[in-house]
Amino acid sequence: MNINFVLSMQYSTIESGGAPWPIQHHDPHDWTSPEYVSKWAEGQDPKEANRAAAFSLLADTIPFEKTAAIKILDMGAGYGALSKSLLERFPNATAICQDGSEEMAKLGRERMKPLAGRFEYVLCDFGKHGWSKLVSGPFEAIVSSIAIHNVGSPRIIRGIYEDAYTLVTPGGCFLNFDRSSPPWEDQMHWLRGAGFKDVQIFWRDENRAVFGGFK
């Protein structure tokens, strides 16, 4: 949710450690516009019910008791749908919501008012070098929902996973709920290369999966 770009409607052979993957096309996002962000979020709201199973499975995969006072980093948090779900499941947890859009952060702060004091937003772009120095880790769980694929570059996504590994506390995890571009198999390969162990797909449907690993 924090990358403004237009991807062309074509298949591109990219050095990704696997087969070429289709580049997706959509209109450019304007995350600086309050009107655009509000309208976009309204369009996402009906989809939240379809994400409930994935969010629940993701919460169950985090290797800590639900009463533990864990610290969560939500990458590309947007208006906080995943953070909200996890903070409700882990009542003693706190969350850092990372996103590149101030307008999205404003919306998230409003929507998560009942959880005030348990989360904060950090504005930075995870597609740019040095972003990981702007969040205060380490974290027992790093998570993301339908965000990292937007970067569009296998090289940058691989770097994001390497940065995430440095922020996970030993015994913690990185779990990504995302689409199949780049292919999940390639992404799991990059996660293993970053140092994560027991990397696998924990849940999937036709075009989305929860996958990740542990430190």
pLDDT recorded at residue 114: 96
pTM over 0.75: yes
User: What are the extents of the domains in the chain?
Assistant: 10-214
Cβ(110)–Cβ(119) under 8 Å?
A: no
Residues of the chain with pLDDT below 50 are 1-26
Model confidence pLDDT, tens digit, residues 35-72: 665 665 665 666 666 789 999 999 999 999 999 999 99
The CA radius of gyration of the chain, in Å to the nearest whole number, is 16
Closest CA to 175 of 159, 164, 162: 164
Domain range 10-214, CATH architecture:
3-Layer(aba) Sandwich (3.40)
Q: Which two tokens stand for residue 128?
A: 């740019």
Name every residue whose Cβ is closer than 8 Å to that of residue 185 and which is 6 or more positions away in sequence. 18
Neighbours of 73 (CB within 10 A): 27
Tokens 């995350």: give the residue.
31
Looking only at Cα atoms, what is the longest distance across the chain? 47
pLDDT recorded at residue 27: 52
Give the Cα-Cα-Cα angle 210, 64, 71 (nearest 5 degrees).
85
Tokens 């169950």: give the residue.
60
Cα 102 to chain centroid distance, Å, stands at: 17
